[in-house]
């Protein structure tokens, strides 16, 4: 398991397929700030709430210079179904082998109802225009998280 990212760290580079199978890289966004968020599974209540919140606030974030990328271990096909069912405008990327999720320290031990298991840790990493970590938020809540990010970033 990777160490949690800290402000000032270089954000790990990645290239992953989106919901349509197109390869998307972090470097495609050089010169813009990027909010990279990791979520456990498409088409689940919490993840749907979070993705819809990002979609609802996409214009506000884009106007402030931020692109938004959501990453989960789902297949591109499941992401396409998720995007279409919920009318999502957020760029969703597939990381079925969890290599990128692990490199961002967004995969690890979780506890739920007294059971401990390995899974995706709901996390949000804000990357600046130079590809450095500006903020690293781990174990975030799906509900209210986007509003908190907007407030914390002063948007």
CATH code (residue 56): 3.40.30.10
Residue 127, domain member (yes or no)? yes
Q: Which of 5, 34, 47, 149 is catalytic?
A: 47
Residue 148, domain member (yes or no)? no
Task: Please give the tally of structural domains in the chain.
Answer: 1
| pTM attached to this predicted model | 0.95
Residue 151, domain member (yes or no)? no
Average pLDDT score, the chain = 95
Residue 154, domain member (yes or no)? no
Residue 149, domain member (yes or no)? no
Residue 55, domain member (yes or no)? yes
With 70 as the cut, is the pLDDT of residue 1 above it?
no
Residue 23, domain member (yes or no)? yes
Encode pLDDT of 122-145 as tens digits. 999 999 999 999 999 999 999 999
Structural domain that includes position 69 = 9-143
Encode pLDDT of 113-127 as tens digits. 889 999 999 999 999
Question: What is the chain written as a DSSP string?
Answer: -PPPP-TTSBPPP-EEEBTTS-EEEGGGGTTSEEEEEE-S-TTSHHHHHHHHHHHHTHHHHHHTTEEEEEEESS-HHHHHHHHHHHT--SEEEE-TT-HHHHHTT-EEEEEETTEEEEEE--EEEEE-TTSBEEEEEES--STTHHHHHHHHTT-
Active-site residue, 47 included: yes
Residue 64, domain member (yes or no)? yes
């Amino acid at each position: 398991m990777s160490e949690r990212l800290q402000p000032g760290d270089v954000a790990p580079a990645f290239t992953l397929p989106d919901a349509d199978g197109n390869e998307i890289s972090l470097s495609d966004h050089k010169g813009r700030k990027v909010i990279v968020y990791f979520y456990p599974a498409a088409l689940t209540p919490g993840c749907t709430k979070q993705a819809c919140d990002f979609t609802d606030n996409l214009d506000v974030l884009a106007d402030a210079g931020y692109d938004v990328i959501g990453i989960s271990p789902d297949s591109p096909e499941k992401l396409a179904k998720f995007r279409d069912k919920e009318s999502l405008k957020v760029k969703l990327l597939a990381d079925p082998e969890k290599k990128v999720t692990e490199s961002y320290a967004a995969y690890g031990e979780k506890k739920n109802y007294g059971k401990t298991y390995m899974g995706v840790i709901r996390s949000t990493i804000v990357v600046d225009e130079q590809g450095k970590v500006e903020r690293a938020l781990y174990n975030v809540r799906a509900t209210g998280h986007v509003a908190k990010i907007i407030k914390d970033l002063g948007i």
